[in-house]
Amino acid sequence: MLRDLAKSALRRIPARAFGALSGLTVFYMHGLVETHSDPRVQRLHLTVDDFRATMSALKAWVRFVSIEEALLLLKEGRARGPLAVLTSDDGYLDNHDLLAPVARDLGIPWALFVSTHHIETGARFPTYLTRCFAYYADHGNYTFPGLERSIVITANDASRAVAAQALGQAIYRLPQEGVRALIGAVVEATGQERQAALDMKFTSDKPMSWAHVQALAEAGVEIGAHCHEHAILHRGQTIGEVTRQIAISKQFVEEHVGRCRYFAFPVGGVKQIGPQAATAAREAGFDAAFTTINGTLPASRDPFLHPRVMINRDPHGNESMFPFTGLRFDRALPAAQIAVKRVETEIAR
């Protein structure tokens, strides 16, 4: 109750009162739905109404700018005002169908980071496929490659949540060849007919095509790369795999769109960015790379480990806490960036 009262009070305070606190924040999201068919599977997707409410509320606090303008302001030392950047990851079709019209109506520039294998082939993302299995597979005991323990699905819904967590964690730690083997086995266990039916049910998780990406680029959306197969570039990946995932995604975007200046790490926390990943992004020719480590852009100490803040489902959560983003996260940001680079030093020894 006290938290709700505090938020209500904050929403009535003029934005200019917090101008000194509001650093340049890069927000990120994934997708939108009109309504959720099953929020357990569609957990990355906001509703259109919540998204519009959040963006409208944020616009009362900040001026939204493009990544290009944000980085220029940062370079010139003018990124201290109440400014924000909107980005979206993966490349779901609803970004074209639902997000783009809302952003256009509100006059908000934005950037899209795409995983090019999924744009190229239409293949669904690994984490979506594991959630489909976890919440819709038949009861039983399942053994999967890359998992030390079997997955048990029972009539108890808690067993499905445990399965989703175990499979998701496996994707975060396995090398990419292990992820491919795991996903192949998961889809087989779900059953091709059932998976096809689930894909029809969850159109929210369908990737867009290159035609959609090109249309967004022509409309002014900045298109960046998000690995080729949405690979998690953790320390368990080989240098060759990391380099390949980054380089191919940049190449594909450039071939289809014309330029690709920015990169976003899939998942992108400290544990999901290996010691070679930031270096590989820089050597691939990107101008900057973005993580999911919390913080504001002025507090960043590495242009290839820039922070972002996730937009959540609460239409007031980001808007009411926005002025204090820097106070909440910036002190820890440099240490998080150093932690990634420290691993690199230790491995080099």
Please check the confidence at residue 344 and state whether its pLDDT lies above 80: no
At 347, is the pLDDT very low, low, confident or very high (cuts 50, 70, 90)? very low
End-to-end CA distance of the chain: 52
Residue 59, number of CB atoms within 10 A of its CB: 16
pLDDT of residue 127: 96
179-227 pLDDT, tens digit each: 999 999 999 999 999 999 999 999 999 999 999 999 999 999 999 999 9
pLDDT at 346: 46
The answer to whether the beta carbons of residues 254 and 280 sit under 8 Å apart is no
Q: DSSP assignment of 265-294, as one string?
A: -SS-SGGGS-TTHHHHHHHTT-SEEE-S--
Could you report the per-residue pLDDT of 39-82, keeping only the tens digit for each?
999 999 999 999 999 999 888 888 999 999 999 999 998 877 78
Q: In Å, how far are 30, 63, 214, 321, 326 from 296, measured between CA atoms?
A: 20, 15, 30, 13, 6
Backbone angles phi, psi at 150, to 5 degrees: -75, 160
Of residues 93 and 312, more confidently modeled: 93
pLDDT digits (tens, 9 = 90+) for 152-177: 999 989 999 999 999 999 999 999 99
pLDDT greater than 80 at residue 321:
no
Please count the other Cβ atoms lying within 10 Å of the Cβ belonging to residue 245.
Answer: 27
Q: How confident is the model at residue 328 (pLDDT cuts 50, 70, 90)?
A: confident
Task: Report residue 112 CA to chain centroid gap.
Answer: 10
Of the given ranges (169-178, 213-222, 243-252, 325-334), which has the lowest mean pLDDT?
325-334
Cβ atoms of 149 and 165 closer than 8 Å: no
Length of the chain: 349
Strand 31-33 versus strand 45-47 pairing type: parallel
Report residue 28 CA to chain centroid gap: 6
C-alpha 26/C-alpha 13 separation (Å) is 23
The tens digit of pLDDT for each residue in 262-306 reads: 999 999 999 999 989 999 999 999 999 999 999 999 999 999 999
CB 225 within 8 A of CB 116: yes
